[in-house]
Amino acid sequence: MTTHIDPTDPAGAIAAAAKAYSNWGRWGEDDVLGTLNFLTDAKRREGAALVRRGVSFSLSQRFDMNGPQKGWRRRTNPVHTMIDTGTDAALGHQGFPHGIGGADDVIAMPLQCSTQWDGLGHIFDRGKAWNGRAAEKVVTSDGDLVTGIEHMAPHVAGRGVLLDVGRVVGAQGELPDGFPITAEHLTETAAAHGVEIGRGDIVLVRTGQLARVGRDGWGDYAGGPAPGLSFTTAGWLHRTEIAAIATDTWGFEVRPNEFDHAFQPLHQVVIPNIGLLVGEMWDLEALADDCATDGVHEFWLTAAPLPITGAVGSPVNPIAVK
Protein backbone atom coordinates (compact mmCIF):
# COMPACT_ATOMS: atom_id res chain seq x y z
CA MET A 1 0.00 0.00 0.00
CA THR A 2 1.29 3.45 -0.91
CA THR A 3 1.86 5.45 2.26
CA HIS A 4 4.29 8.06 0.97
CA ILE A 5 3.49 10.74 -1.57
CA ASP A 6 5.99 12.51 -3.78
CA PRO A 7 4.04 15.70 -4.47
CA THR A 8 6.08 16.40 -7.60
CA ASP A 9 5.08 13.22 -9.44
CA PRO A 10 1.31 12.76 -9.68
CA ALA A 11 1.55 10.98 -13.03
CA GLY A 12 3.97 8.39 -11.66
CA ALA A 13 1.91 7.78 -8.54
CA ILE A 14 -1.31 7.43 -10.53
CA ALA A 15 0.29 5.00 -12.97
CA ALA A 16 1.74 2.88 -10.16
CA ALA A 17 -1.53 2.76 -8.23
CA ALA A 18 -3.53 2.01 -11.37
CA LYS A 19 -1.28 -0.96 -12.10
CA ALA A 20 -1.24 -2.24 -8.52
CA TYR A 21 -4.98 -1.97 -7.90
CA SER A 22 -6.52 -2.62 -11.30
CA ASN A 23 -9.65 -4.78 -11.49
CA TRP A 24 -9.65 -4.85 -15.29
CA GLY A 25 -10.86 -8.24 -16.50
CA ARG A 26 -11.80 -9.42 -13.02
CA TRP A 27 -15.45 -9.91 -13.98
CA GLY A 28 -14.90 -10.48 -17.69
CA GLU A 29 -14.31 -8.18 -20.62
CA ASP A 30 -17.98 -7.21 -20.91
CA ASP A 31 -18.43 -6.07 -17.31
CA VAL A 32 -20.42 -2.88 -16.70
CA LEU A 33 -20.81 -2.99 -12.90
CA GLY A 34 -17.31 -2.85 -11.47
CA THR A 35 -17.23 -3.27 -7.70
CA LEU A 36 -21.01 -3.63 -7.54
CA ASN A 37 -20.23 -7.24 -8.45
CA PHE A 38 -19.23 -7.63 -4.80
CA LEU A 39 -22.78 -6.74 -3.72
CA THR A 40 -24.35 -10.20 -3.99
CA ASP A 41 -27.81 -11.50 -3.12
CA ALA A 42 -26.38 -12.89 0.12
CA LYS A 43 -24.95 -9.50 0.97
CA ARG A 44 -28.35 -7.91 0.45
CA ARG A 45 -29.94 -10.42 2.80
CA GLU A 46 -27.29 -9.54 5.36
CA GLY A 47 -28.11 -5.86 4.94
CA ALA A 48 -31.87 -6.37 5.18
CA ALA A 49 -31.42 -8.27 8.46
CA LEU A 50 -29.94 -5.13 10.03
CA VAL A 51 -33.33 -3.44 10.21
CA ARG A 52 -34.35 -3.47 13.88
CA ARG A 53 -36.17 -0.24 14.76
CA GLY A 54 -37.57 0.64 11.34
CA VAL A 55 -36.37 4.25 11.56
CA SER A 56 -35.32 5.69 8.21
CA PHE A 57 -33.10 8.54 7.09
CA SER A 58 -32.86 10.32 3.77
CA LEU A 59 -29.21 11.02 3.02
CA SER A 60 -29.91 13.50 0.23
CA GLN A 61 -29.37 17.20 0.15
CA ARG A 62 -32.12 19.31 -1.37
CA PHE A 63 -32.38 19.85 -5.11
CA ASP A 64 -33.14 23.55 -5.49
CA MET A 65 -31.72 26.91 -6.54
CA ASN A 66 -30.10 27.38 -3.13
CA GLY A 67 -27.53 24.64 -3.74
CA PRO A 68 -23.74 24.89 -3.78
CA GLN A 69 -23.04 25.07 -7.50
CA LYS A 70 -21.34 28.12 -9.03
CA GLY A 71 -21.34 27.22 -12.72
CA TRP A 72 -17.94 25.49 -12.90
CA ARG A 73 -17.89 23.42 -16.10
CA ARG A 74 -21.54 24.41 -16.57
CA ARG A 75 -22.62 22.81 -13.32
CA THR A 76 -25.53 24.85 -12.05
CA ASN A 77 -28.13 24.41 -9.36
CA PRO A 78 -31.48 22.90 -10.39
CA VAL A 79 -34.01 25.11 -12.16
CA HIS A 80 -37.52 24.09 -11.14
CA THR A 81 -40.40 25.42 -13.23
CA MET A 82 -44.13 24.94 -12.85
CA ILE A 83 -45.97 24.24 -16.09
CA ASP A 84 -49.42 23.87 -14.49
CA THR A 85 -50.46 25.47 -11.20
CA GLY A 86 -53.32 25.90 -8.77
CA THR A 87 -53.86 29.35 -10.26
CA ASP A 88 -54.39 27.83 -13.70
CA ALA A 89 -56.88 25.38 -12.22
CA ALA A 90 -58.79 27.99 -10.22
CA LEU A 91 -59.13 30.27 -13.24
CA GLY A 92 -60.36 27.43 -15.43
CA HIS A 93 -57.43 27.62 -17.83
CA GLN A 94 -56.75 23.90 -17.93
CA GLY A 95 -59.86 22.79 -19.78
CA PHE A 96 -60.62 19.76 -17.61
CA PRO A 97 -64.25 18.68 -16.88
CA HIS A 98 -66.22 18.54 -13.60
CA GLY A 99 -63.90 20.80 -11.63
CA ILE A 100 -60.76 18.66 -11.61
CA GLY A 101 -57.46 20.52 -11.76
CA GLY A 102 -53.82 19.71 -11.34
CA ALA A 103 -50.25 20.85 -11.19
CA ASP A 104 -47.23 19.75 -13.18
CA ASP A 105 -43.60 20.77 -13.11
CA VAL A 106 -40.30 20.29 -14.86
CA ILE A 107 -36.72 20.43 -13.63
CA ALA A 108 -33.50 21.17 -15.50
CA MET A 109 -30.21 20.34 -13.82
CA PRO A 110 -26.80 18.78 -14.23
CA LEU A 111 -26.98 15.21 -12.99
CA GLN A 112 -24.19 15.84 -10.49
CA CYS A 113 -25.34 19.12 -8.98
CA SER A 114 -26.36 17.68 -5.61
CA THR A 115 -26.38 14.26 -3.90
CA GLN A 116 -25.24 11.84 -6.58
CA TRP A 117 -23.29 8.85 -7.81
CA ASP A 118 -20.35 9.03 -10.21
CA GLY A 119 -20.91 6.41 -12.90
CA LEU A 120 -18.11 4.30 -14.35
CA GLY A 121 -18.02 6.48 -17.47
CA HIS A 122 -17.40 9.66 -15.47
CA ILE A 123 -13.59 9.52 -15.25
CA PHE A 124 -10.90 8.24 -17.61
CA ASP A 125 -7.27 7.34 -16.99
CA ARG A 126 -4.93 8.26 -19.83
CA GLY A 127 -7.62 7.70 -22.44
CA LYS A 128 -8.99 4.50 -20.90
CA ALA A 129 -12.39 3.96 -19.33
CA TRP A 130 -13.39 1.22 -16.91
CA ASN A 131 -12.11 -2.26 -17.81
CA GLY A 132 -9.52 -0.90 -20.23
CA ARG A 133 -11.90 0.30 -22.90
CA ALA A 134 -11.03 3.24 -25.14
CA ALA A 135 -12.68 6.33 -23.67
CA GLU A 136 -13.72 7.69 -27.08
CA LYS A 137 -15.62 4.47 -27.82
CA VAL A 138 -17.38 4.40 -24.45
CA VAL A 139 -18.69 7.94 -23.97
CA THR A 140 -19.71 9.96 -27.02
CA SER A 141 -22.15 12.82 -27.63
CA ASP A 142 -24.84 10.13 -27.43
CA GLY A 143 -23.86 9.34 -23.84
CA ASP A 144 -22.14 6.38 -22.19
CA LEU A 145 -22.76 3.67 -24.75
CA VAL A 146 -21.31 0.88 -22.60
CA THR A 147 -21.38 1.58 -18.87
CA GLY A 148 -24.33 3.96 -18.66
CA ILE A 149 -25.56 4.31 -15.11
CA GLU A 150 -28.84 2.61 -15.99
CA HIS A 151 -27.01 -0.72 -15.61
CA MET A 152 -26.52 -0.04 -11.91
CA ALA A 153 -30.14 0.82 -11.13
CA PRO A 154 -31.20 -2.61 -9.75
CA HIS A 155 -28.08 -3.25 -7.71
CA VAL A 156 -27.31 -0.50 -5.18
CA ALA A 157 -28.96 -1.86 -2.05
CA GLY A 158 -27.30 -3.71 0.80
CA ARG A 159 -25.32 -3.30 4.00
CA GLY A 160 -24.38 0.31 4.65
CA VAL A 161 -21.71 1.26 7.15
CA LEU A 162 -21.09 4.78 8.44
CA LEU A 163 -17.50 5.70 9.25
CA ASP A 164 -17.87 8.95 11.16
CA VAL A 165 -14.27 10.06 10.85
CA GLY A 166 -15.27 13.59 11.83
CA ARG A 167 -16.41 12.44 15.26
CA VAL A 168 -13.64 9.92 15.89
CA VAL A 169 -10.63 11.80 14.53
CA GLY A 170 -11.75 15.41 14.27
CA ALA A 171 -12.34 18.21 16.74
CA GLN A 172 -15.95 18.83 17.80
CA GLY A 173 -17.10 16.29 15.24
CA GLU A 174 -15.51 17.87 12.18
CA LEU A 175 -12.34 17.58 10.13
CA PRO A 176 -10.72 20.79 8.86
CA ASP A 177 -10.57 21.57 5.16
CA GLY A 178 -7.51 20.02 3.54
CA PHE A 179 -7.41 17.10 6.01
CA PRO A 180 -6.32 13.86 4.27
CA ILE A 181 -8.15 10.80 5.61
CA THR A 182 -5.77 7.84 5.54
CA ALA A 183 -6.43 4.11 5.66
CA GLU A 184 -5.31 4.24 9.28
CA HIS A 185 -8.02 6.82 10.03
CA LEU A 186 -10.63 4.61 8.38
CA THR A 187 -9.46 1.56 10.32
CA GLU A 188 -9.37 3.51 13.59
CA THR A 189 -12.89 4.78 13.00
CA ALA A 190 -14.25 1.33 12.17
CA ALA A 191 -12.71 -0.04 15.36
CA ALA A 192 -14.19 2.80 17.41
CA HIS A 193 -17.62 2.01 15.97
CA GLY A 194 -17.24 -1.75 16.46
CA VAL A 195 -17.77 -2.55 12.78
CA GLU A 196 -15.76 -4.41 10.19
CA ILE A 197 -15.56 -3.27 6.58
CA GLY A 198 -15.53 -5.91 3.90
CA ARG A 199 -16.69 -7.29 0.61
CA GLY A 200 -19.88 -5.80 -0.77
CA ASP A 201 -20.30 -3.06 1.82
CA ILE A 202 -21.49 0.44 0.92
CA VAL A 203 -19.27 2.70 3.02
CA LEU A 204 -20.29 6.22 3.99
CA VAL A 205 -17.56 8.55 5.23
CA ARG A 206 -18.63 11.56 7.25
CA THR A 207 -16.11 14.39 7.49
CA GLY A 208 -18.40 16.96 9.07
CA GLN A 209 -17.83 19.51 6.32
CA LEU A 210 -21.53 19.65 5.50
CA ALA A 211 -22.33 20.51 9.12
CA ARG A 212 -19.87 23.39 8.87
CA VAL A 213 -21.44 24.55 5.63
CA GLY A 214 -24.83 24.45 7.30
CA ARG A 215 -23.60 26.99 9.84
CA ASP A 216 -21.39 29.16 7.66
CA GLY A 217 -22.96 29.03 4.18
CA TRP A 218 -21.87 27.25 1.01
CA GLY A 219 -18.67 29.23 0.52
CA ASP A 220 -16.37 27.13 -1.68
CA TYR A 221 -18.05 23.81 -0.90
CA ALA A 222 -18.39 23.13 -4.65
CA GLY A 223 -14.80 22.55 -5.66
CA GLY A 224 -12.91 24.34 -2.90
CA PRO A 225 -10.80 23.06 -0.02
CA ALA A 226 -12.26 20.08 1.82
CA PRO A 227 -11.35 17.14 4.01
CA GLY A 228 -11.42 13.89 2.09
CA LEU A 229 -9.76 10.60 1.34
CA SER A 230 -6.02 10.63 0.86
CA PHE A 231 -4.59 9.28 -2.38
CA THR A 232 -2.91 6.67 -0.19
CA THR A 233 -6.29 5.03 0.52
CA ALA A 234 -6.39 3.53 -2.98
CA GLY A 235 -4.95 0.28 -1.64
CA TRP A 236 -7.51 0.13 1.17
CA LEU A 237 -10.36 0.79 -1.26
CA HIS A 238 -9.13 -2.07 -3.44
CA ARG A 239 -8.21 -4.51 -0.68
CA THR A 240 -11.45 -4.25 1.28
CA GLU A 241 -13.52 -5.12 -1.81
CA ILE A 242 -16.26 -2.67 -0.88
CA ALA A 243 -19.06 -2.16 -3.41
CA ALA A 244 -19.28 1.61 -3.15
CA ILE A 245 -18.25 4.62 -1.08
CA ALA A 246 -19.83 8.03 -0.54
CA THR A 247 -18.88 11.15 1.40
CA ASP A 248 -20.47 14.38 2.57
CA THR A 249 -18.09 16.47 0.43
CA TRP A 250 -18.18 17.74 -3.14
CA GLY A 251 -15.22 15.72 -4.36
CA PHE A 252 -14.74 12.57 -2.20
CA GLU A 253 -10.97 13.05 -1.98
CA VAL A 254 -9.02 15.65 -0.03
CA ARG A 255 -8.78 19.10 -1.55
CA PRO A 256 -6.37 20.66 -2.29
CA ASN A 257 -5.11 17.39 -3.71
CA GLU A 258 -1.86 16.06 -2.32
CA PHE A 259 0.21 16.54 -5.48
CA ASP A 260 1.47 19.61 -7.23
CA HIS A 261 -0.61 20.51 -10.31
CA ALA A 262 -3.02 17.59 -9.89
CA PHE A 263 -6.77 17.32 -10.24
CA GLN A 264 -8.66 14.55 -8.45
CA PRO A 265 -5.93 11.88 -8.79
CA LEU A 266 -7.76 9.38 -6.56
CA HIS A 267 -10.75 9.53 -8.90
CA GLN A 268 -8.39 8.66 -11.74
CA VAL A 269 -7.41 5.45 -9.97
CA VAL A 270 -10.60 4.25 -8.33
CA ILE A 271 -13.24 4.81 -11.02
CA PRO A 272 -11.63 3.68 -14.30
CA ASN A 273 -9.18 1.18 -12.74
CA ILE A 274 -10.79 -0.25 -9.61
CA GLY A 275 -14.29 0.20 -10.99
CA LEU A 276 -15.50 1.71 -7.72
CA LEU A 277 -18.88 3.43 -7.43
CA VAL A 278 -18.30 6.83 -5.80
CA GLY A 279 -20.94 9.08 -4.23
CA GLU A 280 -20.60 12.72 -3.28
CA MET A 281 -22.50 15.46 -1.45
CA TRP A 282 -24.45 13.02 0.74
CA ASP A 283 -26.09 14.47 3.84
CA LEU A 284 -25.02 12.16 6.65
CA GLU A 285 -25.83 14.45 9.59
CA ALA A 286 -29.11 13.00 10.90
CA LEU A 287 -27.91 9.43 10.39
CA ALA A 288 -24.63 10.19 12.15
CA ASP A 289 -26.43 11.69 15.13
CA ASP A 290 -28.57 8.58 15.43
CA CYS A 291 -25.58 6.26 15.10
CA ALA A 292 -23.76 8.21 17.82
CA THR A 293 -26.81 7.89 20.07
CA ASP A 294 -27.54 4.19 19.67
CA GLY A 295 -23.99 3.04 18.93
CA VAL A 296 -25.01 1.14 15.78
CA HIS A 297 -23.17 2.19 12.63
CA GLU A 298 -24.48 -0.45 10.19
CA PHE A 299 -27.87 -0.44 8.48
CA TRP A 300 -29.87 -1.35 5.41
CA LEU A 301 -29.11 1.12 2.63
CA THR A 302 -30.83 1.55 -0.70
CA ALA A 303 -29.41 4.13 -3.10
CA ALA A 304 -30.44 3.35 -6.65
CA PRO A 305 -29.40 5.82 -9.36
CA LEU A 306 -32.07 7.01 -11.76
CA PRO A 307 -31.86 4.72 -14.80
CA ILE A 308 -31.02 7.54 -17.18
CA THR A 309 -29.87 5.83 -20.34
CA GLY A 310 -26.24 6.60 -21.11
CA ALA A 311 -25.69 8.90 -18.14
CA VAL A 312 -22.29 9.08 -16.43
CA GLY A 313 -23.79 10.19 -13.11
CA SER A 314 -27.14 10.34 -11.38
CA PRO A 315 -28.96 12.15 -8.62
CA VAL A 316 -29.94 9.84 -5.78
CA ASN A 317 -32.03 9.93 -2.62
CA PRO A 318 -30.30 7.32 -0.46
CA ILE A 319 -32.39 5.80 2.33
CA ALA A 320 -30.76 4.25 5.39
CA VAL A 321 -32.99 2.09 7.61
CA LYS A 322 -31.96 0.97 11.09
DSSP string over 52-112? SS--EEE-PPP-STTSS---GGG----EEEEEE-HHHHHTT-S--STT----EEEEE--TT
What is the SS3 assignment for 309? Answer: coil
Cis peptide before 180 (omega within 30 of 0): no
The average pLDDT across 228-244 equals 98
Q: What is the pLDDT of residues 2-23, one digit of tens each?
A: 567 999 999 999 999 999 999 9
The pLDDT, as a whole number, for residue 78 is 97
Please state the pTM of the whole predicted model: 0.96
The pLDDT, as a whole number, for residue 4 is 79
> Largest Cα–Cα distance of the chain, in whole Å?
73
Q: What is the pLDDT of residues 103-112, one digit of tens each?
A: 999 999 999 9
302 close to 319: Cβ distance less than 8 angstroms: yes
Rounded distance between C-alpha atoms, residue 9 and residue 27, angstroms: 31
Domains and CATH numbers, the chain: 10-72+111-321 (3.50.30.50), 77-108 (no CATH)
The average pLDDT across 204-210 equals 98
The closest alpha carbon to 280, from 70, 115, 163, belongs to: 115
Whether 290 shows a pLDDT value over 50: the answer reads yes
Helix ranges (H only) for 100-224 are 135-138, 165-169, 183-193, 209-216
The pLDDT, as a whole number, for residue 156 is 98
